[in-house]
Amino acid sequence: MAINVLLWVVQGMLASLFLFAGGMKLVVPVEALAGPIALPGLFMRFIGVAEVAGAFGLILPSLLKIQPRLTPVAAAGLVIIMIGATVLTGIAGPVAMAAMPAVVGVLAGFVAYGRVWTSPIRSRVWSSPIAVSVGDAL
């Protein structure tokens, strides 16, 4: 029970972080997104879309219990993004600055692991009228 609450808290914090970071990458002009390593503007927009989608993927499938197996998939995708962010941050500046994306990546990995192995969320059981009538006919 406690691990489930912890996972929900971490999922909420990560979703907030990625929704903000990804949203900023989508609304800020490309020129303002320039960092120490020059990345193409379309690539930055793509990362923004992936972060926003990951933020929604961390919360909505599990909350609505519709395809909750997508939550660890979203978390794993965010781990991949954070690996890239950690590497680029480590290359561009002091290695200590790479600690932030590394910690975020580890937290996303914790969610991915937790939602698969320690505290998975069961899918809502749907019964459609068609399936019921077909089942009754058999």
What's this model's pTM, rounded to 2 decimal places?
Answer: 0.89
Domain range enclosing 119: 2-137
| Nearby residues of 105 by Cβ (< 8 Å), 6 or more positions away | 78, 79, 82, 83, 85, 86
- pLDDT for 36: 85
The predicted pLDDT at position 124 comes to: 86
What is the count of structural domains for the chain?
Answer: 1
pLDDT of 132: 52
> Can you give the pLDDT at residue 127?
60
- Give residue 131's pLDDT: 53
Return averaged pLDDT per consecutive 10 residues of the chain, 138 residues in all. 96 98 97 90 97 98 96 98 96 92 98 97 75 52
